């Protein structure tokens, strides 16, 4: 069969599959219509169909049963209706592009070759017997991603299936019509990738199921290790692969895994919004998503102010003239490492015998139980017992004392004043409770009302005791820096201690103190391990300190984790060799390295790899484009004009989303004020929650994980990017670009640019 016949034959099959989709959709529509009418009717006549009789106890029970039965019937029909809606959405997606791949496979024990078509969802024929389309996550679909024509195998629950792939074919199908068809080898063909990567940047990340590469498939289908570490160069598709991995896990373990069992830690709110559509595109509900900052803020509570990592970064980059800058940098360095964790552990061991600060428990301005009494009771307990266990015993002891006090307060005059302010409903309840006692005694009613008042008043005290609010965590933590002397004193410890104590007195936690403080709080009061999280995915993992990783492992001790990052983009000062991304493979850990960059053109990758911070191999995908441009200015007043001209030129070349990526928020503000009256611009800060097209201005640390059509670096001079610590910032900024990179420098360009050969970029003077 020649190429034209092949294509005609494949189009016939697409038409047949779409006919089957239409039939299934018609059937579902008719079922949906009937169900919708049933649901409306049930809601409308709910109470008419319920037998309501409250005269006798038996009648009340019958009424409750009738309401429950009617509610269950309504709920059942609404659930079925929801499932039909989901199926119809899937069919609508399949109708546009039913599948993207085909493999012909013959098992060793068989004589007949099976044609396997692969799409984003499975589809059975009208008899519900044979698969017209296999879900990309099905075991057999792994053949498509992992093998060239020839010997192949895949794993099932029953064991390994071996055989031979005789054909591997890719499709581009739009609106039910084949736009492209290619036979290919092990790598998903350049044709499909060229089309996907040559488009403009989107405001949201798209799924990559049609173009998953073999190395990405290894990430997606990994099952055996507690820790999967993915070191991927900029634009290697690590985040996309991780999201496909989540979809794969939810497909494989549907019976035991739900969206609440998976937690994704994103680098910032903008990125959370950027990736929000991927899982729904694949027919899965979005999993729990948050930033590590929000996670810590939630644990710290509203009484504490927590510095963001971006505020810390801004200080590091712009605060050199502050008198306390050196001390702060030493503090960041020390508190980011596990040595500080060991110091806290040692400090807590000492607190088992002395030093914990407690609060008075007061009521109406009087001390009910003093902090000295609480301390005396705590330290009278067995010192061999762990601190959190002793806190539990103290809590129970306090609750007993409070209950006794509650009984004393019940008979005081102030209670009757509160009784007079009770609602009518409270009086009725007291009356009915009195009737249950078979007495008509007004004094008993008064007793019941007094109990109601006192119980309510003391409820908040009891709640705070159960939450261990009688412990002064912050004050106790402060004593680590004011009254405690470490055995091995770190450099600048006296100055670090003074700086930290001053911040804590303002209830302010710097970013380097937030995790240690919450670790200390957990060790003191008892950590509540989040056992609901079965799988944790951490993106931009290179930006986490060693202490932060130790804390995460402490909070999620039984959780499988996928850590994604790029050591070339480790922009934070505390990125050290203790970061897991730098570690070699260990027990219970698998490390996958992605070396090929798909985001940027070959010209951009070839240019940026010369000043990449690490030694990792970086391979460009073969997508041609224009060389990066370096524009040299000799007059500062020309900057606004140069930026406007560059943006307009890039737009003329079809680039819709252009990022002016600055080193700091300070520079971002300056550029925004320079341009806002000259051209339409959108400024992005850490409070930005949605990604949009246009001319964007943002600091580099908020650009992590996203991509734009073109990047303009407004100050690529040697006064802005010169220190070795600036290398990762400059590399990260440049590698956000998909199609074009423009650098503007006043006077002398950054030395990093000059590390690339002159023929790798165009210099404009």
> What percent of the chain has pLDDT above 70?
82
CB < 8 Å & 24+ apart, contacts of 386-390: 386/352, 387/348, 387/351, 387/352, 387/356, 387/523, 387/524, 388/523, 388/524, 388/525, 388/526, 388/527, 389/526, 390/352
Per-residue confidence (pLDDT) for residue 670, from 0 to 100? 96
pLDDT averaged over the chain? 84
Lowest mean per-residue pLDDT among 177-181, 203-207, 402-406, 761-765: 203-207
The predicted model gives 401-424 an average pLDDT of: 71
DSSP, res 219:
H
Residue from 348, 303, 329, 306 nearest 513 by CA: 306
* Torsion sign over Cα 215, 220, 223, 224: positive
236 annotated binding-site participant: yes
- The answer on pLDDT for 197 being more than 70 is no
205/240 Cα distance (integer angstroms) = 8
Q: 749 falls in which pLDDT band (50, 70, 90)?
A: very high
Q: Are strands 159-174 and 101-107 parallel, antiparallel or unpaired?
A: antiparallel
Per-residue confidence (pLDDT) for residue 443, from 0 to 100? 58
- The answer on pLDDT for 651 being more than 60 is yes
238 annotated binding-site participant: yes
| Start-to-end CA span in the chain (Å) | 58
- The answer on pLDDT for 333 being more than 60 is yes
Give one word for 436, left, alpha or beta, with left for phi > 0 and alpha for psi -120 to 50: alpha
Q: 60 falls in which pLDDT band (50, 70, 90)?
A: very low
Per-residue confidence (pLDDT) for residue 562, from 0 to 100? 92
532 annotated binding-site participant: no
The predicted model gives 529-558 an average pLDDT of: 89
Could you give the C-alpha distances from 37 to 32, 43, 89, 216, in angstroms and in order? 9, 10, 20, 46
Per-residue confidence (pLDDT) for residue 433, from 0 to 100? 53
> What percent of the chain has pLDDT above 90?
46
77 annotated binding-site participant: no
Q: 189 falls in which pLDDT band (50, 70, 90)?
A: very low
Per-residue confidence (pLDDT) for residue 50, from 0 to 100? 47
8 annotated binding-site participant: no
The predicted model gives 739-751 an average pLDDT of: 94
The predicted model gives 451-476 an average pLDDT of: 86
657 annotated binding-site participant: no
Q: 76 falls in which pLDDT band (50, 70, 90)?
A: low
pLDDT tens string 9-44: 999 999 999 999 898 888 877 766 655 655 555 555
261/530 Cα distance (integer angstroms) = 10
Tokens encoding 414? 């102030």
740 annotated binding-site participant: no
- ∠699-704-705 over CA atoms, to 5°? 145
pLDDT tens string 652-710: 999 999 999 999 999 999 999 999 999 999 999 888 877 788 999 999 999 887 889 99
Q: 285 falls in which pLDDT band (50, 70, 90)?
A: confident
| Radius of gyration of the chain measured on its C-alpha atoms | 32
Task: Count the neighbouring beta carbons within 10 Å of the beta carbon of residue 248.
Answer: 23
Q: Are strands 150-156 and 159-174 parallel, antiparallel or unpaired?
A: antiparallel
233 annotated binding-site participant: yes
Domains, in order of start, for the chain: 3-188 (no CATH), 206-303+531-597 (3.40.50.300), 361-467 (no CATH), 616-763 (3.40.50.300)
108/403 Cα distance (integer angstroms) = 75
Residue from 66, 18, 24, 17 nearest 46 by CA: 66
């Amino acid at each position: 069969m020649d190429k034209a016949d092949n294509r005609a034959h494949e189009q016939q099959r697409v038409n047949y599959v779409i006919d089957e989709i239409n039939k299934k959709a018609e059937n579902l529509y008719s079922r949906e219509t009937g169900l919708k009418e049933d649901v409306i009717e049930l809601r409308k006549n709910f109470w008419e169909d319920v037998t309501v009789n409250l005269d006798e106890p038996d009648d009340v029970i019958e009424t409750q049963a009738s309401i429950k039965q009617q509610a269950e019937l309504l709920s059942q029909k609404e659930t079925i209706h929801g499932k039909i809606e989901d199926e119809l959405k899937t069919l609508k997606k399949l109708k546009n592009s039913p599948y993207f791949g085909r493999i012909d496979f013959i098992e060793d024990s068989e004589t007949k070759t099976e044609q396997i078509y692969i799409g984003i969802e499975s589809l059975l024929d009208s008899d519900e017997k044979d698969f017209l389309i296999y879900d990309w996550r099905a075991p057999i679909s792994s053949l498509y991603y992992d093998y060239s024509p020839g010997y192949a195998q895949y794993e099932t629950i029953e064991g390994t299936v071996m055989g031979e792939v005789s054909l591997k074919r890719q499709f581009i199908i739009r609106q039910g019509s084949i736009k492209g068809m290619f036979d290919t080898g092990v790598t998903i063909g350049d044709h499909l990738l060229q089309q996907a990567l040559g488009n403009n940047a989107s405001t949201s990340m798209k799924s990559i199921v049609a173009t998953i590469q073999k190395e990405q498939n290894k990430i997606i289908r990994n099952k055996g290790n507690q820790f999967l570490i993915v070191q991927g160069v900029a634009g290697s598709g690590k985040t996309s692969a991780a999201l496909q991995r989540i979809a794969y896990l939810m497909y494989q373990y549907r019976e035991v895994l739900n969206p609440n069992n998976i937690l994704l830690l994103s680098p910032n709110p903008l990125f959370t919004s950027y990736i929000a559509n991927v899982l729904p595109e694949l027919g899965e509900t979005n999993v729990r998503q948050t930033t590590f900052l929000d996670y810590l803020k939630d644990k710290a509570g509203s009484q504490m102010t927590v510095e963001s990592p971006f505020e810390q970064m801004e200080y590091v980059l712009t605060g050199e003239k502050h008198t306390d800058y050196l001390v702060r940098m030493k503090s960041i360095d020390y508190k980011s490492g596990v040595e500080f964790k060991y110091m806290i552990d040692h400090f807590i061991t000492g607190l088992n015998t002395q030093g914990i600060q407690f609060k008075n428990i007061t009521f109406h301005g009087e001390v009910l139980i003093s902090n000295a009494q609480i301390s005396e009771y705590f330290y009278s307990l067995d010192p061999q017992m762990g601190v959190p266990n002793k806190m539990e015993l103290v809590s129970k002891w306090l609750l007993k004392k409070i209950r006794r006090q509650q009984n004393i307060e019940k008979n005081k005059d102030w209670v009757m004043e509160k009784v007079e302010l009770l609602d009518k409903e409270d009086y009725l309840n007291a009356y009915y409770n009195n009737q249950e006692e078979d007495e008509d005694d007004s004094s008993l009613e008064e007793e019941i009302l007094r109990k109601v008042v006192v119980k309510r008043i003391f409820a908040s005290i009891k709640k705070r005791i159960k939450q261990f609010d009688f412990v002064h965590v912050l004050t106790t933590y402060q004593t680590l820096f004011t009254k405690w002397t470490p055995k091995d004193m770190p450099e600048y410890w006296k100055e670090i201690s003074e700086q930290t104590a001053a911040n804590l007195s303002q209830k302010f936690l710097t970013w380097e103190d937030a995790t240690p403080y919450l670790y200390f709080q957990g060790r003191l009061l008892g950590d509540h391990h989040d056992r609901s999280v079965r799988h944790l995915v951490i993106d931009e993992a290179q930006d986490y300190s060693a202490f932060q990783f130790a804390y995460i492992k402490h909070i999620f001790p039984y959780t499988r984790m996928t850590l994604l990052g790029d050591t070339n983009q480790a922009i934070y000062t505390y990125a050290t060799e203790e970061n897991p991304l730098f570690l070699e493979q260990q027990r219970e850990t698998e490390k996958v390295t992605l070396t090929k960059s798909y985001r940027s053109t070959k010209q951009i990758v070839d240019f940026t790899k010369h000043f990449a911070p690490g030694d990792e191999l970086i391979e460009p995908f073969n997508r041609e484009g224009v060389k990066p441009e370096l524009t040299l200015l000799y007059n500062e007043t020309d900057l606004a004009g140069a930026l406007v001209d560059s943006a307009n030129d890039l737009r003329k070349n079809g680039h819709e989303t252009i990022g002016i990526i600055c080193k700091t928020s300070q520079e971002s503000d300056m550029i925004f004020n320079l341009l806002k009256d000259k051209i339409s611009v959108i400024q992005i800060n850490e409070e930005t929650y949605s990604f949009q097209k246009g001319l964007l201005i943002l600091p580099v640390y908020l650009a992590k994980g996203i991509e734009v059509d073109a990047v303009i670096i407004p100050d690529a001079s040697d006064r802005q990017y010169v220190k070795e610590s600036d290398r990762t910032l400059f590399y990260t900024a440049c590698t956000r670009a998909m199609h074009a990179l423009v650098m503007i420098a006043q006077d002398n360009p950054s030395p990093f640019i000059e590390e690339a050969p002159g023929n790798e970029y165009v210099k404009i003077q």
